[in-house]
Structure 1
């Protein structure tokens, strides 16, 4: 991940990186659309690439359960949102994040000597609603290859922030693959999707909003560890039934709002339109370019994280 200081430094589509794809040019010389996109012409890729993308689409579609109907929600017994576990995130800003010599090294080493501490966010977890999701999340908070020293990589103003993207540690991403995590069968259990993103401070597992690369998702050992926190000021109903709510902010909602107020990269409307067209024509680079949208222009990262022992298991979330 990168921290950008100018909106002009990002192109519409980025060149292929770390890929070995064989494509043949398929251009209709009478097409004004193709000529207007030159030199970024529409490519017709090999059958292997098409099959890979088809497998990912089918597997993703099958993995997501149908959203529970209103009748099912009304007739279902209330979910037990007792807070069974508490974890914390310490957030900091590091101006020299990507120039840090020990980026990607052992987590017990201080990552940034010139970081500015933003503050601590304490999260209460609903272990009776989503026990597998909670267990994996806790493991990522205390494990040696977890969330510590990774970036907040996306902020949608007025909606939510996202962290936990998988990839390379030296890019501020979660190490690949996370070890010691259980296979999360709750992602295909419709009951796990019944809680709503009804207010600021809701913690949920990213499913529909997950932006891990296709190659990572196709790994047989893939575990989704990307999470989001709603930032307010209102609810996010578009996330309901598509992501698993498994906790909420107990303390530090002011820190969440401060992170949400950070400036982000927003492409111009013309770039968005051209990117949509490139995506429609099948250019994978359009999707790669979109991963940089809504990215913070300063490096906000999780400087520390861990578990806090719950002395009173009946704790309930405090409204922001």
Structure 2
């Protein structure tokens, strides 16, 4: 049977029943348009609600049209990550090792970690970089690795179940600090909202440290300062507390077992009494409190980057679609 006219049924089911059912004379059993309270007409027009029984008289074509239009509105309101280009344009490798003799008394004064005599290799990690999405961050990181500036860099922070950080900047190479190579570009992406769209949603996420940066304040005030400190999420779950504070610019392609082995290393955890005194010292403005706090969450083993560099790519590839 053909459906009745949409305009006729919609008018009889949506407009008149709303106004007539809401306002009528209390002594009348049959409401009519003449008994409608004209003072409330505007209220009726502002909220054109459909009475429950009028839904049964609506044609099926109207219901389908209404549901499809509402779905279209919901889809447009939902943020899409399809516009984020996570094409892997470059590959970087880092070899991680442990130096057991780093804290020994017979260690030569000023000796760099890269020349550790009894180094114990942990393995190689290969990172894929998002050069199209973050060209400046990627170029600076790639240049720092190609210049071997990360060689001998200490993994100075490890939050178990979250991430580890490396690449702290400073002049002391014997303490595993980084001296950025010349030629780095000033990174304007650190203040761009587009650079913070990707989330720390999976283990092995490579991110430029901003909110978790441990560089000294006097170093950051240098006009030639370039941020080279980075972090890698270790899992097992995501790290939403890092989102919006650090720039995700890469992912682990190979060597996730090395990341997991680093994450299992025990770290320094101060006692509750030490934490209390440190909080009090920081409250009264004692600068030594921040210096002491920098020792917290450090691995009890000396993990460092023994080698790094760039790997040639035959062609660019796409990262896993579940990353954004």
TM value normalised by structure 2: 0.71
Please say if residues 147 and 181 of structure 2, whose CA atoms lie closer than 8 Å, have aligned partners that are also in contact: no
Residues 126-155 of structure 1, C-alpha deviation per residue, up to 9 Å, x if partnerless? 0011110000001111115x1011111110
**What SS class does the counterpart of residue 123 from structure 2 fall into?**
strand
* Aligned-residue CA RMSD (Å): 2.2
Provide the C-alpha distance between the structure 2 equivalents of 1:124 and 1:76, rounded to a whole number of angstroms.
19
Q: Return 5+ residue gaps in structure 1 as ranges.
A: 1-70
User: Which structure 2 residues correspond to residues 9-88 of structure 1 after superposition, within 5 A?
Assistant: 74=79, 78-88=83-93
Q: Whose radius of gyration is greater, 1 or 2? A: 2
Matched residue count: 244
Counterpart in the other structure of 2:282: 279
Larger RCO: 1 or 2 (CA < 8 Å, sep 6+): 1
1:138 aligns with 2:146: no
- Distance change (3 Å), C-alpha of 1:197 and 1:100: farther
User: Which structure 2 residues correspond to residues 291-306 of structure 1 after superposition, within 5 A?
Assistant: 291-306=294-309
Runs of 4+ aligned structure 1 residues displaced above 6 Å come to: none
User: Which structure 2 residues correspond to residues 245-264 of structure 1 after superposition, within 5 A?
Assistant: 245-264=248-267
Task: Report how far residue 317 of structure 1 moved.
Answer: 4.7
Please say if residues 248 and 317 of structure 1, whose CA atoms lie closer than 8 Å, have aligned partners that are also in contact: no
Query: Which of residues 95, 98, 118 is equivalent to 2:100?
Result: 95
Please say if residues 124 and 317 of structure 1, whose CA atoms lie closer than 8 Å, have aligned partners that are also in contact: no
Provide the C-alpha distance between the structure 1 equivalents of 2:125 and 2:77, rounded to a whole number of angstroms.
34
Provide the C-alpha distance between the structure 2 equivalents of 1:72 and 1:84, rounded to a whole number of angstroms.
31
Task: Report how far residue 75 of structure 1 moved.
Answer: 6.1
TM value normalised by structure 1: 0.72
Provide the C-alpha distance between the structure 2 equivalents of 1:180 and 1:270, rounded to a whole number of angstroms.
46
- Distance change (3 Å), C-alpha of 1:227 and 1:148: same
Greater share of residues in helix: 2
Query: Which of residues 143, 150, 162 is equivalent to 1:159?
Result: 162
Please say if residues 102 and 111 of structure 1, whose CA atoms lie closer than 8 Å, have aligned partners that are also in contact: no
1:172 aligns with 2:176: yes
Counterpart in the other structure of 1:7: none
Provide the C-alpha distance between the structure 1 equivalents of 2:322 and 2:263, rounded to a whole number of angstroms.
18
Counterpart in the other structure of 1:116: 120
**What SS class does the counterpart of residue 153 from structure 2 fall into?**
coil
Provide the C-alpha distance between the structure 2 equivalents of 1:100 and 1:260, rounded to a whole number of angstroms.
29
Query: Which of residues 148, 158, 161 is equivalent to 2:151?
Result: 148
Counterpart in the other structure of 2:33: none
Q: Return 5+ residue gaps in structure 2 as ranges.
A: 1-75
Query: Which of residues 194, 197, 200 is equivalent to 2:200?
Result: 197
Task: Report how far residue 178 of structure 1 moved.
Answer: 3.8
